[in-house]
Amino acid sequence: MWGWGAGWGAATTATPSATAADNYTDKDAFWYLTPSEEQKAALSKLREQLTAENLIVPDHDADITLLRFLMARDFNVDKALSMYRDMRAWRQSEGITGLYRDDPAGEQFPEMEALLEVYPHFTFNTDKFGRPVYVEMLGRTDAAKLFEVISVERLIRYHCWTWERYLRCYLPACSAAAGRPICTTTVIIDLAGLSLAHFNAATQRLLNTFSKIDQDYYPEHLGTMFIINTPLIFRGMWAAVQPLLQERTRKKIIMLGADYLPELTKLVPAERLPDLLGGGGRMQRGYKSVGPWRSPDPAQQREEGPAEVQAQAEAGQQDEDGARQGAQQLQEAPQVGREGVVVSISTAGDLGAPEGEGGKGKAATVEAAEAEVETSVGGKVGEVAVAAMAALTVQA
């Protein structure tokens, strides 16, 4: 959930980094299918150590999963091992494995429909590589109403549930539809309506909580991030931070102003973009996600009537057999696991984290975040930019 401004650009035109869309190839999108010999050696060593210590987590032991942890730690095997160990402990202590598996319809979140109204986020179709396209309308998010709809702790729980939904539902279906393993995502963050005047410490603290969960336990899931309608005021921020980032990070981020469609459609065909972003795809009421995953997604079936569900199915959503086929494809791929992407501030996990900050989990941060929200909630979620800037600078 919670998308975040990973960078900022000009108000009306793309920054020079936007040319990355022209040069983005299959090799960039599917890096996990062609590891180098050195990376394969690190992968083999990490697997040996995990097996020796009996640390393997079911459904999180495929090559791509281990490669993500290695990539997050610059292929330092010892650091990747420590990171994986912390992930395993967190999943056990927080009951993460059964979070979506035992509740695919999201019955534990009766406030989901109201949440989508005050915090618009959804997954809409796929990009030209077959990766799911996740969209967050940050300028339309109302933080004050958000915390009337859902508590901090439940919002964090929902955040984890959406991650697990990507891993078990969206990514397998996208893989089946594309005919090859899909393990990353394209993210569109719309900053229209966002300004520094919207920032407050409460939401920034909450976003940092999400960021920590994502960078420690769901690393390296971001494919490409488009940040559109970027306010002019953020141009200087991006110019200052950009030189501090690793090249692979800079290549993932494309900042665009109001004239974003020509660049955005180089990776996401116009007919696959929602109409509210100027594309040809019809946006479902209530910001419902649309794509090649199960038909219907159990959470959508709970919220919609059978007629609308059937219409979506006939429009091209995949049936459950397709999702199972995709899951099998992910499992059997030589270099691919079933990790997925729910992005949001989650992309902080791709953009790097200082060593030694993993392993505490959400429980250690909920109380502090909740206290912050109780004392300072108001305005919209503009502080997302501040949280993003902090997360990015750790790449230095």
Residue 375: what pLDDT? 35
Bridge-based pairing state of the strands 222-228 and 185-190: parallel
The predicted pLDDT at position 139 comes to 86
Distances (CA, A) of 31 to 26, 68, 184, 188, 264: 8, 10, 10, 21, 21
What pLDDT does residue 136 have?
Answer: 94
- pLDDT, residue 295, reads 55
pLDDT digits over 58-85, tens only? 999 999 999 999 999 999 999 999 999 9
CATH number (3.40.525.10, 3.30.70.20, 3.30.70.141, 1.25.40.10) of 16-393 reads 3.40.525.10
Burial letters for 371-381: b for 16+ Cβ neighbours within 10 Å, e otherwise? Answer: ebbeeebebbb
Distance CA 59, CA 32 (A): 17
Q: Is 394 exposed, middle or buried (0-12, 13-18, 19+ CB in 10 A)?
A: middle
* Model pLDDT for residues 285-317, shown as the tens digit of each residue: 888 888 998 554 555 544 443 333 333 333 333
Contact 197, 12 (CB under 8 A): no
Between CA 343 and CA 350 the distance in angstroms is 10
Q: Kindly give the parts of the chain with pLDDT less than 50.
A: 1-18, 197, 296, 301-324, 332, 334-349, 351-396
For position 243, what pLDDT does the model report? 81
Q: Tell me the helices (H) and strands (E) count for the chain, helix number first.
A: 20, 5
Tell me the β-bridge partners of 253. 225
Phi and psi for 354 in degrees, rounded to 5?
-65, 140
Please tell me the predicted confidence (pLDDT) of residue 236.
Answer: 67
Q: Which residues pair with 380 in a beta bridge?
A: 142
pLDDT for the residue numbered 63: 95
Ordered strands of the 121-126 beta sheet:
121-126, 132-137, 185-190, 222-228, 253-255
**pTM attached to this predicted model:** 0.76
